[in-house]
Structure 1
Amino acid sequence: MSVTEGKFTVAALADLHANERRERSYRDLFAEISKVADAMVLCGDLTDTGKPAEAEILAEDLRACSVPMVAVLGNHDYESGQEGEVVKILSGVGLRVLSGDGCKIGDVGFVGVKGFAGGFGARMLGSFGEPAIKAFVAETVRESMQLENAMRSVKAKRHVVVLHYAPVVETVEGEPPEIFPFLGSSRLAETIDRFTVDAIVHGHAHRGRHTGRTPGGAPVYNVAYDIEKPTGRPYALIEL
């Protein structure tokens, strides 16, 4: 099937946490995905602590994937301050890592940012008080603005938004309520709902729910590795 017309299937997963202990091998999983999807999307926390050695291990497994690959980084990928090297290694095997930009595969546009924390709805953290609070909120706003710029720059028939942090509270439910504000922000959903979007995928909330919707009705999928999905596999299949 041509990826420029008809059904387009995205396989999405997140929170691989590749590490030097090699606790999981993804080679067979990526080969499996190549048989059932037109593209694979990875929603952050590709590595466990953001070390280049971890990225090298994941890169070897990614060689088994024969469909186009798109990703964003997650918070774990920044832990060692070597995220630039991580991106370079993974890009070397064909993974397109988005950060406030986008790409097209056939007639499907993919736009991606990591996102950030801040909370949801009426309880979302506001920019008031100490400079540290204002800086925290400014980071969420910056990520949302990057997402908006990316959405405006990618012209496509169908659009998929790729995040690490959640844009809605529904897909983090199942996590301890005390940490909800650290799992995502409604500011991401506010930005997304200015556009027509076919699917939003994210990770980060390992014990959340698989599905939700933005206030504007766009479908949201939490694809963290351990989330139960209709496929019964670590990845979700999303048909556009």
Structure 2
Amino acid sequence: MLKGFLTGILALGLGASVMAAAPAQADELAAIKKAGEMRIAMSGAYPPFNFVNDKNEVVGFDPAIGREIARRIGVEPVIVTTAWDGIIAGLLAAKYDTIVGSMSITPKRQEVIDFVGPYYRAGRAVFVPEESSIQSLDELKGKTLGVTLGETHEKWAREKGGWDIRTYKGLPELLLEVQSGRVDAIVVDNIPVRVAMQKNGAKVRQLDTPDIEGGNVAVGIAIRKGNPELKAAMQKALDDMMADGTYEKIALEWIGADIR
């Protein structure tokens, strides 16, 4: 993921009513500590970074990082799952305190939210069925491309043009669609698909696209603007995790590699 941002405030679903719901206020760190909990949002549909297991628990790299940050701040983590295409609107409406959901840091997003981190780096990649004869982006012209609704990959695909686009809720659906041949290719973050290939035997192949836009992207933790104390506390927790080996342990457990 890396998780995307549709162009413009309206594409985010951020109308006047949402902006009015999030007035300027004092730094929220004190309020979070008083409440004794931090509400952490993610889609729950982006394995291995965040997903729902067979026990109906939200697990993965992102919730593990979010829970550890909350613990180091001294509060209980509360994981919230929500649709990706409205997740920033939910943050601005104060439905949760932060987004730890594999969100790429972009200038457009930085106009409306702040970021802690980055906490890992990843990149855009294009995958086709393992047996596909397609070898390049040019050969996808006129073909059908699958993307996750609201990701930067969708924005990139629409701006580049030349193919039919189908949108889905998340990576599990995309992998099913491309392996079944219902789409000719999918545009996604490279790390989770590589993990799916290793762990689950996903029958897909990555195209060689060395010059693709977004091939090396910083991923951050989103908070509302105007919270320097909260941002500093979360950044310190993240930095300490990276320094003491906790981050690497979490990354190895869920991703199989240190992805800083």
TM over 0.5: no
Greater relative contact order (CA < 8 Å, ≥ 6 in sequence): 2
Q: Where is the helix percentage greater, Structure 1 or Structure 2? A: 2
TM-score (norm 1): 0.32
TM-score (norm 2): 0.30
Which structure has the larger Rg?
A: 2
Q: Where is the strand percentage greater, Structure 1 or Structure 2? A: 2
